[in-house]
Every structure is written in structure tokens, then in C-alpha cells.
Amino acid sequence: MSDIKVTLPDGSSRDLKEGATVHDLAASIGAGLAKAAIAGKIDGTLVDLATPLHDGAPVEIITEKSPEALEIIRHSTSHLMAQAVQILFPKAKVTIGPAIENGFYYDFDVDAPFGPEDLEKIEKKMAELAKAGLKIERQVLARSEAVKLFREMGESYKVELIEALDAETVSLYRQGDFVDLCRGPHLPSTSWCKAFKLTSIAGAYWRGDEKNKMLQRIYGTAFADKKELEAYLARLEEAKRRDHRKLGRELDLFSFSDEVGAGLVIWHPKGAMLRTILEDFERKEHLRRGYDIVLGPQILKTELWQRSGHYDNYRENMYFTEIEGQSYGVKPMNCLSHMMIYKSHLRSYRDLPLRFFELGTVHRHERAGVLHGLLRVRGFTQDDAHILCTPEQLDGEIKGVISFVNDVMGIFGFEYDMELSTRPEKSIGSDEDWDRATSALLGALQDSGRPFEINEGDGAFYGPKIDIKLRDALDRKWQCATIQCDFTLPERFELTYVDANGEKKRPVMVHRVILGAIERFIGVLIEHFAGNFPVWLAPVQAVVVTVTDSQIPYAQQVFDELRGAGVRIQKDFRNEKLGFKIREAQLQKIPYMLVIGDKEVESATVTPRFRDGSNLAAMQPIEFADYMANEVKSFH
């Protein structure tokens, strides 16, 4: 047999016999690598260890330490779970089971919903199958043969998937008696699945369509070793403790009601105060950066949404109504009103850039299954702005927004990552305009000196965008800020300015948000701070607490003085034990408690107690007000 030559990542080459596999290559390098190998990469494509090599191919051996390993481990573990389910529930039909960001899931068609006790049984069976070390083998069949195989097995969902494929052959994976339709790659055997945990159960419609049957989805996670798994599960428990829905109830910030409607937030006094603090902060920051505050209507004629392209590209996310025979669209975005403001006057190049800022409430139709507390709602307010500028000003305006984002994220203590999202398949505008817009964003990102990634095909339908994903205290990523560059809507709405030569030119529009949806950002803040908001953000900054009823007159005087000085303060003069009242204030995560006893009455002072139990020295109430004002200033 003739030899073949392959290239390794370090640039060296290796001669092998024709027909040699990825595993053979690993073995030729060393016994240790052969033992550690779980997959390979040929010509940049992930493959199984049993995949034959071809002459001239660049090849990489994948081990558990490789960046690509986790997805392979999780995908193989999802198959292990499906196998365990079908052993325990023989009538269960399997559908799809991909690896996802934090683990994997698999959807099943079963007669009765799974319960928590079923997860324990499935996990136990998975452990048995892993210990058995079943070999995982790939098989390629003609599409017709695969359809026949799965039809005989009664796996109607697999048949539907295969029949929808535009391919002559399909690949299957077998482990023991279990067989599944899959592209792969997979681990060499089930023994490599050694650190996994099933985490939750949910309902999911087949193919995400509410018209289809509701399936049972089991979520799980998997890692290369148990230490990583335990660390992840600890973070998961911490995330549950910080869940903004739980803390929102406990801190009495907001609620939802079926009587009102799904995805519609009801803000309680403390939640509304928190939101007001954020909105006031936003107005101040925008005004000092040269933005003008504007406000547009909640509904606009449907003809405008047709003209903008929203009707053709976004109407499934919109609500519509009719008034006196005229169709209107409830706004999902604020850009149309801002363009109408621009059009209300003849504009000169000397007027530009114009920066229109609106805390605009919008409504979007989100499916009930994706609604999630404040993080995914149907009605929300964006810190939305649209910058209209000349093409020559575009670079500076994009960099100005990047700087704005950096300043604000620093105030809240967030690290963040950036992505450039490019033209999606469903879009409007010319190739030339998309190229100009993408180049503008790319150039500003490169000049920023910060690392960024390219997210192909995930731009808005009217232009590419920079997505800023902040990282919270648990290192989870949240999409909040975005910067979108748009040459298309100014063209559709015939926006113009007069240049230095008296000629009409087309401005460029930058759509941008800094915090994004206020609701979502508050949800992220609650979880980031675990409800322990810094003093400047806390809806209640201090509470005056009495030891006995005899201190109420002085305590009321302290309350009135501090409230008059601008401190957000509450009082607790109830006839309860002091320890009980202190504990309640701690559970409400109020930054400061002012306990008023006989000593404080006699000296006309307060002794501030921080929520962690530490105390400040006794001081006059006005001194405490000054102290609070300075603490607030130190944050922003």
C-alpha cells in the first residue's frame, strides 16, 4: 500500500499507510496521545477517531483539553441519555438532542411527562451504560435505507428529519442496541462520558411550532471530569439563589399576572424607584454627551412599517390594530419616529450629527414558551437612540458610542465582550450599502484595540451591528448594548442634508442602545448584585428602626430630616423585637439601618449599621445625609 503524508499543527509532517485513521496517527505520535485522543480534525472539520486520512491533509488530534472537546463530550452524553431513556421507557420516541452552551438536551415523545424521580433513574442507567464502555460507531446509509430502518423502529420523527434532508446518504451512530441519526463526531466509547448531571425537565413543541405536539425535554450538562462538573453545579446553585424572579418577589420589586397578560411587567413601588433611578441616570448621561431627548407615539400607520421593511421582515413580532378603518402597528422599535423628526426640517451638514434619544416603550410578540421573567418580556423600554450623521462623521460617532458603553459598564462593574454581526439571509438594502456599513463598524472595532469576534449572518435586517455582551458576577454573558449601522432606512425615507456645495446628500443612521431593554438590564443587575444593590442604585437606602415605642418621636424626626435631605428612607416603628426588625431589613437587603435607642435619643445622633452587620460611628442625622451623598457620588 502506498504511503500518505499529513501535516500536524506545528507544521511537521508524518508518513502513514494509506487507509490510516486519526487514531492511527495519534498512536504513531505516542501511546499517551493515542490513549488521550477522543476525536480529530481534518481540513478544519471535526471527525471521529476512526475516520481515514487522506494525502496532504492538515490534521489535529482532539483530546479532552482541546477547546472543541466539550461539545463532543456533551453531544455524546445526550445520546447516552437517549439510550437510557429508551431502555427505561421502551415506548419513548427520540427526536433531536444537541449540545448547547451549558450542556445538552434531548426531546422525547412519551406517554406521560417525566418527573424528578425519573431523572434519578435515567442518570443511574446512564452511569451503567458509561461503565459498560460501549463502542460508539459511525455508519453511513443511503437515505432510503435510513428511512426504512427508522420506520421499522417506529421512530417517526427521525423519518421526518431524514426525508427533509437534501442528501443521498446520511450518517448514523450506534452504541450497543441504540442507534441515532447524527452528523457526529462522537467519543470513541461511552466510557468517556464520566461526569454528567441531568438538571431539569421542560416542555417543547416539535420543531418549535406550537401547532405540533408537545414533547418532553430533558436538560443536562457534562464535563471532562467531575471536578469541573462540581464547580459548574455550584455555580448553578448560586444562580438559583440569585434568580431575579425569586429576588423580585422577595424584595417586592415587580410581579406578573395572568389576569394582565403574559410577559407584561407590573412594577411595584421599590421596583419602579429602581427603574426611575436608572432612567434618570440615563437622561443625565445622554444629555452631557450631546443627545436630544425625544418621544414618539406608541402606534404608527401600517404603511410606515411597510415602507421601512419591518412589515415584510419583522411583522411576526409585531402587534397590529385598526382605528376607523386605518391599520396601525404597535411599535417594536423607535427608529421610525426619529426619522420623522429628522424629516420635519431641512437639514444642513452644519446641523449634523443629530443624536435623538428616547426611553421608548415598545411591544414585541414573543412566544409564551420563551418568556422568562424580566429577561424576555412582551412590553419593555429601551434606552434607544438614533444618530444621523454624514458618512465622514460615521467613524467618530461609532467610536463615541463604544466609549459611552465602556464608561457605563465601568460604573456598573461589568466586563464585556464584543461581536460584529454581519448580514442575515433575510435583509434589505444593496450590497454596496451593507459593505460600507460593515466596514465602518469593523474599522471602529479594530481601532478600539479590544478583542472581538465575527458572528456571521446575525445582523439586523437593515444593517450590520456590534453586539456587546456583558459578563456578570457568575461570568454569564448577557446581550444588552448594540450599535447598528444603517444606510438603508435613510434611503427608504428619503432623508437628506445639504452639503457644503449646496447639494442634497443622504445621511447615515446609527441605531444604538447602551443598557438595552431596561427590564432586561434590571433583571441582570438583580442577579449580578444578588439584590445587594450599591447605595446609589438601592431603591431604599436606609431604614430607621426603633427599639421601643418611646423612641418613635425622635425616630420620626430623623426620618423626616433624612427624607428631606434626599435619602431614600423607610421606617420600621412596629412593636416587634429589635432582632426581628433587623433581620427583616437584612432580608430586604437595605444598605443601612439606623437603630434608634435611648442612647441615640439622648445624644440626638444615629449609629448607622451596614447590611453586613458592621457599624459606623455615631453621627448627627445631617452628617449621615452628607455621608450618603458622598457615597453615591463615588459610584458615578
Set 182, 193, 335, 485: catalytic member: 335
Q: How many residues comprise the chain?
A: 636
For cell 424584595, name the residue. 251
- Tell me: pLDDT of 447 over 80: yes
Q: Which amino acid is at 412?
A: F
- Which of the residues 511, 571, 581, 609 is marked catalytic? 511
Q: Assess contact for 23 and 72: CB atoms under 8 A.
A: no
Give me 373's grid cell: 421573567
Over the stretch 84-134, which tens digit does the pLDDT of each residue have? 999 999 999 999 999 998 899 999 999 999 999 999 999 999 999 999 999
pLDDT value for 446? 94
pLDDT value, residue 2 = 58
Q: Is 319 helix (H, G, I), strand (E, B) or coil?
A: strand
Q: What is the mean pLDDT of residues 599-611?
A: 94
pLDDT for the residue numbered 472: 87
> At residue 476, does pLDDT exceed 90?
no
CB within 8 Å of 542: residues ≥ 6 apart: 562, 567, 568, 569, 570, 590, 591, 592, 593, 594, 608, 624, 628
Catalytically annotated residue among 48, 107, 118, 384: 384
Query: Which CATH number describes the domain made up of 542-635?
Result: 3.40.50.800
386 classed as catalytic = yes
User: Which entry of 23, 217, 386, 520 is annotated as an active-site residue?
Assistant: 386
pLDDT tens digits for 257-307? 999 999 999 999 999 999 999 999 999 999 999 999 999 999 999 999 999
Q: Are 437 and 486 in contact (CB under 8 A)?
A: yes
Annotated active-site residue 310? The verdict is: no
pLDDT in tens, 331-373: 999 999 999 999 999 999 999 999 999 999 999 999 887 889 9
Helix and strand numbers, DSSP H then E, in the chain? 20, 32
State residue 636's pLDDT score: 62
Three-point CA angle 614, 471, 437, nearest 5° = 145
pLDDT, residue 227, reads: 95
What mean pLDDT is predicted for residues 323-334? 95
- Contact in structure between 274 and 537 (CB atoms under 8 Å): yes
Residue 194: which pLDDT band, with cuts at 50, 70 and 90? very high
Euclidean distance between CA atoms 625 and 578, whole angstroms: 24
Please tell me the predicted confidence (pLDDT) of residue 474: 84
Please confirm, yes or no, whether 465 is among the known catalytic residues.
Answer: yes
What pairing do the DSSP bridges indicate for beta strands 93-94 and 354-363? unpaired
* Number of neighbouring beta carbons within 10 Å of residue 418: 18
Looking at the predicted structure, is the pLDDT value of residue 231 above 80? yes
What secondary structure, in 3-state letters, does 534-599 show? CCCCCCCCEEEEECCHHHHHHHHHHHHHHHHCCCCEEEECCCCCHHHHHHHHHHCCCCEEEEECHH
**484 flagged as catalytic:** no
Residue tagged active-site, from 158, 186, 286, 465: 465
CATH for 3-63, among 3.10.20.30, 3.30.710.10, 3.90.420.10, 1.10.600.10? 3.10.20.30
What is the pTM (predicted TM-score) of this model?
A: 0.83
**CA 93 – CA 81 distance, rounded (Å):** 13
Those residues with Cβ within 8 angstroms of residue 291's Cβ, 6 or more apart along the chain or in another chain: 355, 356, 357, 385
Residue among 275, 347, 364, 512 flagged as catalytic: 364
pLDDT at position 374 is 95
Catalytic member of 83, 86, 382, 551: 382
Fold for 69-238, please state it: Threonyl-tRNA Synthetase; Chain A, domain 2 (3.30.980)
- If DSSP states are collapsed to H, E and C, what string results for 207-276? HHCCCCCEEEEEEEEECCCHHHHHHHHHHHHHHHHHCHHHHHHHCCCEECCCCCCCCCCEECHHHHHHHH
Q: Of 386, 384, 388, 366, nearest to 376 (Cα)? A: 366
pLDDT score at 462: 86
> Cis ω on the peptide bond leading into residue 332 (within 30° of 0)?
no
Residue with cell 437534501: 166
CATH architecture of the domain 254-296+332-528 equals 2-Layer Sandwich (3.30)
CA diameter of the chain: 101
| Per-residue cell: 463 | 444593517
pLDDT of 451 > 70? The answer is yes
Query: What gap in Å lies between CA 480 and CA 467, rounded to an integer?
Result: 8
Q: What is the rounded average pLDDT of the residues 222-226?
A: 95
| 480 tagged catalytic | no
160-190: per-residue pLDDT in tens?
A: 999 998 889 999 999 999 999 999 999 999 9
For the chain, the structural domain boundaries read 3-63, 69-238, 254-296+332-528, 542-635
What would the grid cell of residue 326 be?
386605518
- List own/partner pairs for 263-267 with CB under 8 A and 24 or more apart: 263/366, 263/368, 263/371, 263/376, 263/377, 263/378, 263/379, 264/377, 264/378, 264/379, 265/374, 265/377, 265/379, 265/380, 265/519
